Amino acid sequence: MSGKFDKILKENIKPIESPLLKKLLGIDPTMLIPYDAKMQITFEREMDHIRIVKHKNKKLDYGLQIEFHTSNEDLRKRNLVHYSFFHNNTGLRLKQVIIYIGRDKPTLIKRNRLRHKDLQHRFKVIILEEVSKDMFIDSDIPEEVIIAILCDYGNDSREEVAQKILTRLKQLEKRGTLLRKFQKQLLTLSRLRNMELIVINQMETMNIHYDIEKDGLYLEGIEKGIQKGLEQGIEKGREQGIEKGVEKGIEQGLKKGREEGREEGIELEKRNFVHNLWSLQEFSFEKMALMVGLDADQVQKILLELLLKEEKTEEEALATIEQYKLRFSDN
């Protein structure tokens, strides 16, 4: 799982663990204790989501492994290995649950049964985008409310869902520091649904300040630009072969790097804006270009890159773009 999403879910899992089990799995355990047995280093990080569900009658005890996944991958063999390690160490059965929150269609991760002649293994897969947002949006737990951004929106528009979540967070959390933390987490998770610009717009509508220059993706662009500028400056100084040239090169490189970094951060936001407009399928290339501040050729280049990342061939990607253009040719 991508680090930024994994960090949020790990931070938030404790307060939502019990309601999540009850709502998604119908499990209401009286006691959950961590499973801390040391495994081979390869598996320790992967198996840190396991809890042991305790009962008065020890014969009813079992292990529970719940994991959020953003990547669409076949986990059958890996889960069988986890089950084997856990059972070998504890003698208990292991109930495994995968909660998929990724952007891609869940074609591989849905494969939850492994069958061989002498062996069968099965686990549960929950596609959160198929779960109603209403299960979480009215919760009294802020960490649970933000999960609604990853769910099925039903008849509500994306703008309505973002507004409802932000309103609920303000109702539940009066402390400014924590409220801003949940709002930032919501924005990060919204990227899994190409919703970040919608969330930012709703924040502005509700007079919630969001500083783009403190955003992780923006800062990443700045950092890369500065590093690139430094490298170019040092190289330029070396070519001149004098210390003064190195110093001047670094100075110029830093200045150029900051400028390029700022531009790269802004361009990243524009690229994401184009992706979101494309997902709506409601605007011509000319309108998208006008809204984002680019020309139509730049919009096409961004969308071509996006479609190629979705594993289309260049020919298929260009055909998709041309078909889209034809929809608006008579407008």
Residue 31 and residue 90 in one domain: yes
Structure-model confidence comparison of residues 114 and 40, the more confident one: 114
Tally of domains in the chain: 4
- Which range among 128-132, 257-261, 294-298 shows the weakest confidence by mean pLDDT? 257-261
Tell me: do 121 and 10 sit in the same domain.
Answer: yes
Single out the residue of 314, 217, 218, 294 nearest to residue 283, CA to CA. Answer: 294
- If asked whether residues 21 and 96 sit together in one domain, one would say yes
Asked if residue 118 and residue 10 are part of one domain, the reply reads: yes
Torsion of CA 273, 105, 73, 41, to 10 degrees: 50
d(CA 195, CA 149): 9
The residue written with tokens 């686990």 in the block is: 123
pLDDT value at residue 19: 75
**Same structural domain, 215 and 104:** no
Distance CA 245, CA 240 (A): 6
- Do residue 273 and residue 306 come from a single domain? no
Please check whether residues 312 and 330 belong to one and the same domain.
Answer: yes
Whether 200 and 272 map to the same domain: the answer is no
User: How far, rounded to the nearest angstrom, does the alpha carbon of residue 73 sit from its chain's CA centroid?
Assistant: 15
- Sort strands 119-122 and 124-127 into parallel, antiparallel or unpaired: unpaired
Q: Which of 100, 130, 160 is the endpoint of a domain?
A: 130
- Give the number of other CB atoms < 10 A from CB of residue 185: 22
Q: Does residue 290 surpass a pLDDT of 80?
A: no
Q: What is the mean predicted confidence (pLDDT) over 120-133?
A: 94
pTM of the complete model: 0.61
127 pairs with which residues across the strands?
A: 100
Task: Provide the pLDDT for residue 62.
Answer: 93
Kindly state whether residues 256 and 315 are assigned to the same domain. Answer: no
246: pLDDT strictly greater than 60: no
Note whether 101 and 69 are within 8 A (CB).
yes
Is 203 found in the same domain as 216? no
Average pLDDT, rounded, for the chain = 78
Residue 326's pLDDT is what?
Answer: 81
Q: List the domain range (segments joined by +) for residue 87.
A: 3-130
Among candidate residues 104, 130, 156, the one where a domain is terminated: 130
Which of the residue ranges 81-85, 106-110, 199-203, 212-216 would you say has the lowest mean pLDDT?
212-216
> In terms of domains, do 107 and 39 share one?
yes
Calculate mean pLDDT across residues 172-190.
86
122 and 44 share a domain?
Answer: yes
CA 106 to chain centre: 15
Domain boundary among 167, 186, 209: 209
Please, which residues have CB within 8 angstroms of residue 310's CB and are 6 or more apart in sequence?
none
Q: Tell me which residue of 9, 77, 22, 76 sits closest to 49, measured CA to CA.
A: 9
